[in-house]
Structure 1
Amino acid sequence: MLLSWMMMKMLDPMADEAMAKMFTEDYPDNPFLMVTVMEKLSPRAMFEAAMRAEVGKELTRPLGSPIVLSPWDKILLNPRQLFQLPNPDYTQVDTKTIIGPTAKKPLQLDIPIMITGMSYGGSLSLLIKMALAKGAAMVGTSTNTGESAVTNEERDAAKYLIGQYHRGGQLSGQEQLSRLDAIEIQLGQGAWGGAVDEPMPATMIGRHLRQAWHLEEGQGNTIYARMPGKQTPQDYIKMVNSMKEQYDVPVGVKIAGTDYIEYELAVIAQTKADYIVVDGSEGGTAAANPTLQDSVGLPTFHTLIRTIDWLQDNNLRDRFSVIVTGGMTTPGHFLKAMALGADAVYIGTIALMAAMHVQALKTLPQAPPSQLALYTGKMTDKLDVDIAANHLANFLKSCTVEMQLAAQAVGKQALKDLDRSDLVAVENDLAEFAGIRYAGSHRQPQRQESIEKSTYNQPHNLQLQ
């Protein structure tokens, strides 16, 4: 109490002086000027300008762009209550999904929420990668190596492991690829604006990572803008088809969202790939610079709709499973993405937040929680893998139940049955683009026989009169 009283006595005159100055001085000598400057420039622009002035090189901003342009909150699901009854038991709503159903060994998952590619070394520490793999395994879904290699630690912790055959070459060859449950040919990433060079100096590569990547002492690593040796789209088509011939598991292609998305899909359509991953600009990353994150690419929402529309228009939708990723954070986002046409969603940043949970307090207030998870973090050894895995599993379980309840409300027996008829938009232009109803337009009442036919999923002891 005495210390608190003394502090207040010391701070009170200072506060009085500052307030008097702000109320009386003209702007050039008024500290309130900083408030108006921040309103004009934004705090983010000011702080990033200061960082650029300090380091004199591109910034590396973890976890992705703060700019979210996907209008997920402007579309809503349509519940049924009377003309069509809700399902009698939400626990019976099927949550399973299959990636690459025509592959010799399809990837069959218990839930349609998957952990996206976040690399050991390029992004995350080995401990958090193990936690993500273990947590995903606990609920019957997959994790992803990202732009790295298959490590024994991640493979042992994962039930289903998807590996990225990527532009750096660390995951390649029979010894690595034969250990995977699906192969993802990574040609771009939303938060990196597509595909650019990503150098990593030798000083940032520790002994364990160097062994995993088969690098010599003092050797750095670069993920290139294009696959080494590939000069034309035809080269990529041959590469995908060769991979399909060699392996029985699903083979997919991952690209970043772009206004050229239809052109990119037209190339993929010439391959024998089993699935397509489209990554919107709102996705996370460990180190992309702010310009690539904020100003390059296409939002996730627009990327997904244009992907599904193009595939349907060209009678190709049944040929490819579609996974969408990029900034989705809630069960509502996941459901809406599936209703728009996705077979499954990838999550990254929100999975990290769920996994770290209260363990993030181990870094605060001295450092941000990212220091607990990033490969370059200073506190990665403080992460308890089992606790993190359990928290991730709980998050995924919670999301799944909420998705089942929402599916029950809209009268669906399986999450995969959701479609655009289950959605409505509050903006007319948005509704027109997405091919869904506008909330401001009226429906015409159905005739009685149509209503009776629409109650197919009601309990046998309930009949409309």
Structure 2
Amino acid sequence: MLLNWMMMKMMDPMADEAMVKMLTEDYPDNPFLMVTVAEKLSPRALMEAAMRAEAGKELTRPLGSPVVLSPWDKVLLNPRQLFQLPYPNYTKVDTKTVIGPNAKRPLVLDIPIMITGMSYGGSLSLEMKMALAKGAALAGTSTNTGESAVTNEERDAARFLVGQYHRGGQLSGQEQLSRLDAIEIQLGQGAWGGAVDEPIPADKIGQHLREAWHLEKGQDKTIYARMPGKETPQDYIKMVNSMKAQYEVPVGVKIAGTDFIEYELAVIAQTQADFIVIDGSEGGTAAANPTLQDNVGLPTFHTLVRTVDWLTANNLRSRFSIIVTGGLTTPGHFLKALALGADAVYIGTIALMAAMQAQVVKTLPQAPPSHLAIYSGRMTDKLDIDKAATHLANFLKSCTVEMQLAVQAVGKQAFKELDRSDLVTVERDLAEFTGIRYAASHRQQPGQEQTADRAAKYSPQEMQLQ
């Protein structure tokens, strides 16, 4: 108490002086000027300007962009109560999904929530990769190598492992690819604005990672904007088909969402790929610069709708499983993505937050929580792997139960039965774009299922109880 009293007595004159100065001085001499400057420029722009001025090089911002343009919160699910009854038992709502059902060895998952590609070395520590793999396995779903190699530690911890055959070449060859449950040919990602060069200097590569990547001491590594040796779209088509011919597991293609999405899909449609991963601009990463994160690409919501619509219009929807990723964080987001046409969703940043849970206190206040997870973090050795795995599994199980309850409310028996008739929006433009109901209209929206409008369309005499 005495210490608090002394501190308050010392602070009081300083606080009084600062307050008088802010209330009496003209703006040029008033410290409150910084508040108006921050309002004009934004606190983020101010801080990033200072960091750029200090470093004189591009910034690397972990965990993605704060710019979220996908209108998930303006779309709602449509429950049924009388004209169609809710499903009787939410625990019996089927949660399974199948990626690449036409492959010789389809990827069958207990839930449609998958851990996205976050690489060992390029993004995350080995400890966090092991935790994600263990947590995903406990929940009956998959994890993903990201732009790295297959390590024994991750492979042993994972039940289902999706591997990225990517532009850096760390994951390639029979020895690596034959250890995977699905092969994802990574041609771009949302947080990088598509595909750009990603240099990794030798001094950022530790001994264990160097061995996993088969690098000599002092050797740098670069993930290139395009696959080395590929000069035309036809080269990529041949590459995908060659991979498909060699392996029984599903083979897919990952691209970033852009306003040219239909052109990109037209090339993928010429391949024998089993699945397509589309990554919206809200996706996260460990090191992309703010300009690419904030200003390049297409939001996840719009990317998904346009992908599903193009495939459907060209009678190709049944050929490809669709996995969507980029800023999806809640069970509501996951459900709406499934209803819009995705077969599964990838999650990244939110999975890391769930895995770290209360362990973040190990880093605070000395460092941000990211230092517990990213490869360059100073406190990665403090992560309790088993505890992180359990927390991730709990998060996934919690999400799944909430999703089952919502699917029960809309009268469906399985996640895979969700479609756009289960959605409504409060925005007219979104209704027109997606073909779902507009909440301020009784009229049927173009492309909408008739069932969802029965209660409004028919008179009581026409609605006969079955």
Q: TM (normalized to structure 1)? A: 0.97
Cα 1:67–1:10 shift into 2, 3 Å = same
User: C-alpha deviations, 1:142-161, integer Å up to 9, x for none?
Assistant: 00000000000000000000
Match of 2:367 in 1: 367
Residue type of the partner of 1:292?
L
Match of 1:290 in 2: 290
Match of 1:422 in 2: 422
Correspondent of 1:445 among 433, 457, 465:
457
Aligned counterparts, 1:379-390, within 5 A: 379-390=379-390
1:156 paired to 2:168: no
Query: What percentage of residue pairs aligned between the two structures are identical?
Result: 83
Residue type of the partner of 2:101?
P
Match of 1:139 in 2: 139
Match of 2:250 in 1: 250
| Separation of aligned partners in 1, 2:105 and 2:460 | 46
| Separation of aligned partners in 2, 1:227 and 1:67 | 29
State the SS of the aligned residue for 1:329: coil
| Separation of aligned partners in 1, 2:460 and 2:173 | 62
| Separation of aligned partners in 2, 1:88 and 1:437 | 26
| Separation of aligned partners in 2, 1:263 and 1:84 | 40
| Separation of aligned partners in 1, 2:154 and 2:460 | 57
Offset, 1:450? 6.9
Aligned counterparts, 1:231-270, within 5 A: 231-270=231-270
* Structure 2 unmatched ranges of 5 or more: 444-455
Residue type of the partner of 2:203?
T
Residue type of the partner of 1:394?
N
State the SS of the aligned residue for 1:389: helix
Match of 2:432 in 1: 432
State the SS of the aligned residue for 1:240: helix
1:217 paired to 2:217: yes
User: C-alpha deviations, 1:201-253, integer Å up to 9, x for none?
Assistant: 00000000000000001101000000000000000000000000000000000
Offset, 1:18? 0.3
Residue type of the partner of 1:166?
H
Match of 1:460 in 2: none
Residue type of the partner of 1:268?
I
| Separation of aligned partners in 2, 1:90 and 1:188 | 38
Aligned counterparts, 1:47-66, within 5 A: 47-66=47-66
Match of 2:2 in 1: 2
State the SS of the aligned residue for 1:312: helix
User: C-alpha deviations, 1:87-133, integer Å up to 9, x for none?
Assistant: 11000000000000000000000000000000000000000000000
State the SS of the aligned residue for 1:225: coil
1:337 paired to 2:349: no
User: C-alpha deviations, 1:2-28, integer Å up to 9, x for none?
Assistant: 000000000010000000000000000
User: C-alpha deviations, 1:426-464, integer Å up to 9, x for none?
Assistant: 010111001101000025332568745xxxxxxxxxxx4
Cα 1:430–1:40 shift into 2, 3 Å = same
User: C-alpha deviations, 1:330-381, integer Å up to 9, x for none?
Assistant: 0000000000000000000000000000001100011000000000000000
Residue type of the partner of 1:221?
K
| Separation of aligned partners in 2, 1:145 and 1:73 | 31
Cα 1:212–1:30 shift into 2, 3 Å = same
User: C-alpha deviations, 1:148-194, integer Å up to 9, x for none?
Assistant: 00000000000000000000000000000000000000000000000
Q: Is the 8 A contact 1:84 1:451 kept in 2?
A: no
1:195 paired to 2:207: no
Match of 1:306 in 2: 306
Residue type of the partner of 1:89?
N
Cα 1:167–1:449 shift into 2, 3 Å = farther
Number of positions where the alignment pairs a residue of Structure 1 with one of Structure 2: 454
Residue type of the partner of 2:365?
P
State the SS of the aligned residue for 1:81: coil
| Separation of aligned partners in 1, 2:82 and 2:151 | 53
Match of 2:11 in 1: 11
Residue type of the partner of 2:422?
D
Q: Is the 8 A contact 1:98 1:107 kept in 2?
A: yes
State the SS of the aligned residue for 2:69: coil
| Separation of aligned partners in 2, 1:201 and 1:312 | 44
Residue type of the partner of 2:56?
G
1:206 paired to 2:206: yes
Match of 2:404 in 1: 404
Q: Is the 8 A contact 1:111 1:141 kept in 2?
A: yes
Residue type of the partner of 1:349?
T
Match of 1:45 in 2: 45
| Separation of aligned partners in 1, 2:462 and 2:58 | 61
| Separation of aligned partners in 2, 1:112 and 1:333 | 12
| Separation of aligned partners in 2, 1:363 and 1:38 | 28
| Separation of aligned partners in 1, 2:228 and 2:20 | 64
State the SS of the aligned residue for 1:226: coil
| Separation of aligned partners in 1, 2:93 and 2:463 | 23
* Structure 1 unmatched ranges of 5 or more: 453-463
Match of 2:413 in 1: 413
Offset, 1:320? 0.1
Match of 2:322 in 1: 322
RMSD: 0.9
State the SS of the aligned residue for 1:183: strand
Q: TM (normalized to structure 2)? A: 0.97
Aligned counterparts, 1:101-112, within 5 A: 101-112=101-112
Offset, 1:400? 0.1
Cα 1:24–1:407 shift into 2, 3 Å = same
Q: Is the 8 A contact 1:185 1:253 kept in 2?
A: yes
Residue type of the partner of 1:54?
E
Q: Is the 8 A contact 1:338 1:416 kept in 2?
A: yes
Cα 1:20–1:8 shift into 2, 3 Å = same
Match of 2:449 in 1: none
Match of 1:458 in 2: none
State the SS of the aligned residue for 1:227: coil
State the SS of the aligned residue for 1:324: strand
